[in-house]
Amino acid sequence: MGTSDDSIHENVFPAKRHLALVQLVHTRGQMTVNDLSSHFGVSLDTLRRDLDLLASQGLLERTRGGAIAMDNLVNQDSTFIQRMSTRVPAKKRIARAASHLIRDGETLLLNGGSTTRLFAIELGSRRNLTIVTNSLTLPPTLLVESVRDVYLLGGKYRGDAQVTIGPVSFVSIGSITVDCAVIGIGGITVKEGLTTTLLEEAPMILAMIDAARRTIVLADASKLGRRAFAQVAPLERIGILVTDEKPPNDLVHALKEARVELIIAAEA
């Protein structure tokens, strides 16, 4: 019995089809199951299985009747484990460059995130630091000889991000003053400024900025020019942006206008 063209598409070249499928959805932004099935010459059932698999791998977002490119979802959040495994070399360069801005004896406010966690690891050469954070994964990374005290902010526990969020706290952020807030964000744009993927997290990050004498924002290139779901603060509220690539020209100009120091931790 001969093999049909449909079975060749479905059974012989699945990896190649998956790659082309992801690229097509990202190019178009959004596509239906029917359109994708017709484009690739496979059955609807096969196409649905493809989309379910690719969605489980975080390569696209499954919707009713189709799929949407991840980049098109302004409110899309990812798990902490996923974020820790993406753009790691760039985040490490950012973390290392930012750690050089910290002096012995300073008090720091750090929000939860993959880049701020790497930043905490880079603080090993500092001494007598006081850390206040809402991240549950950060304290174990801190070296005993580097830190004098660590304070955890209370609130609602979010397991996928390993942080606490919300207004509930055993110590009010508004009642303390720190030398520096080191903030990881979901996106940074000219119009919206700093944005985050969680609505409840936005006022908490803003409170951290308000409590600090200076603010350092850590953002890899994927966050530059990207708008996340909830607005945190305008560019004027930050002092230093540490990233791994030059931002888009309009953002560079806006940062200069807002008197934000730009540090690019490029590859050596």
Q: Which residues, in sequence order, are CB contacts of 13 under 8 Å at separation 6+?
A: none
DSSP at 246 = P
0.75 cut: is pTM over it?
no
pLDDT in tens, 169-181: 545 666 889 999 9
Distance between CA 227 and CA 250 in Å, rounded?
14
Q: How does pLDDT run across 36-80, given as a tens digit for each residue?
A: 989 989 999 999 998 988 887 667 778 878 888 765 444 344 444
Contact 148, 130 (CB under 8 A): yes
CATH code given to domain 80-264: 3.40.50.1360
CATH number (1.10.10.10, 3.40.50.1220, 1.10.287.470, 3.30.70.1060) of 5-72 reads 1.10.10.10
Residue 28 to residues 21, 24, 71, 73, Cα–Cα distance (Å): 11, 6, 11, 13
What is the tens place of the pLDDT at every residue in 126-146?
A: 999 999 998 887 887 787 788
The label of the residue with tokens 């609505």 reads 199
Q: Cβ distance 183 to 218 under 8 Å?
A: yes
Sheet holding 129-133, edge to edge: 147-152, 129-133, 107-110, 178-184, 212-218, 240-243, 261-264
- How far is residue 84's CA from residue 86's CA, in Å, rounded to a whole number? 6
Distance, in Å, from the CA atom of 231 to the CA atom of 35, rounded to the nearest integer, reads: 35
pLDDT confidence of residue 94:
96
Instruction: Spell out where the chain has E strands.
Output: 30-32, 61-63, 66-68, 107-110, 129-133, 147-152, 156-158, 163-165, 178-184, 187-189, 193-196, 212-218, 230-233, 240-243, 261-264
User: Strands 66-68 and 30-32, how do they pair?
Assistant: antiparallel
pLDDT in tens, the chain (268 residues): 333 333 334 444 577 788 788 878 877 777 889 989 899 899 999 999 989 888 876 677 788 788 887 654 443 444 444 554 466 888 999 999 999 999 999 999 999 888 998 999 899 889 999 999 988 878 877 877 889 999 988 777 776 666 777 765 545 666 889 999 999 999 999 999 999 988 888 999 999 999 999 999 999 999 999 998 889 999 999 999 999 999 999 999 999 999 999 999 987 6
Closest to 39 in 3D by CA, of 54, 55, 26, 20 = 20
Segments making up each domain of the chain, as ranges: 5-72, 80-264
Any idea how long the chain is? 268
Q: Residue type at 99?
A: S
Q: Which amino acid is at 173?
A: I
Q: Whole-angstrom Cα distance, residue 215 to residue 237?
A: 8
